Structure 1
């Protein structure tokens, strides 16, 4: 069986901050934003690629009193893979937007072997891993025991 990720759902505090982050920093394209703003769609999304989107659930869709007191949700982090050139440009955009890189660059195992990753957070505290794969990283996987 071959599976793929269709979408990720993030509970967000402020839609506008999340849209600004995902479209301005990660350069993802928004989906259904104008429909959301006209109350014609319950939430907007951003597109990762032709097959995958991130749905941004506004607070009224998820914020019950019990959920607010629960603390951290089920999502640990998600990873976006890209070319090395795009990865370098992203690290520059993170820096110019004052977004702290919490870890990395570091070699980590993923869906396509070992890649070079950095970790940072979106406006709601969700951790994002950004990575690129290269032949040098694949050679390093022997050192990591992968």
Structure 2
């Protein structure tokens, strides 16, 4: 049986700030979800816990908190384009470009943070 990841959960501390970041930096469609939002990025969805969200039926034993996520997104082009994209939006690269490995093998990545401090990664297979 093959599985495909449908969504992951992140926790944000400020809807306005996070909505702008995920929309402007990751090209997310900001989707209303109850008292909060979700971010649709291509065929990936990030469901969000955050301010004003009450009880959630099913959560991890230790629920994710703002800044606790670590998520990698494939960049469809050379990694220099990802670094330039981040620079144009005022998002500092924390690490990279560095050699990494993804599900398809050797790659190159740049790492950066969302407004709450979660570690995000753009990974490129171009040039490998």
Aligned position for 1:44 = 37
1:96 offset after TM fit, Å?
2.6
Q: Which has the higher contact order (CA 8 A, sep 6+)?
A: 2
Structure 1 stretches of 4+ moved >4 Å: none
Structure 1 residues 105 and 118: alpha-carbon distance in aligned structure 2, compared to 1, 3 A threshold: same
Q: Secondary structure at the match of 1:10?
A: strand
Give 2:120's aligned residue.
128
Show CA shifts across 1:48-93 (max 9, x none).
Answer: 223x20112223438xxxx8xx8964x3x110002115x5444223
* Aligned length, in residue pairs: 119
Q: Which has the larger helix fraction?
A: 1
Mapped partners of 2:115, 2:67: distance in 1: 14
Structure 1: unaligned runs, 5 residues or longer: 138-146
Relative to the length of structure 2, the TM-score reads 0.79
Please tell me whether the aligned partners of residues 114 and 133 of structure 1 are also in contact (alpha carbons under 8 angstroms). Answer: yes
TM-score by length of 1: 0.70
Alignment of 1:108-123 (within 5 A): 108-123=100-115
Q: Distance in 2 between matches of 1:71 and 1:24?
A: 19
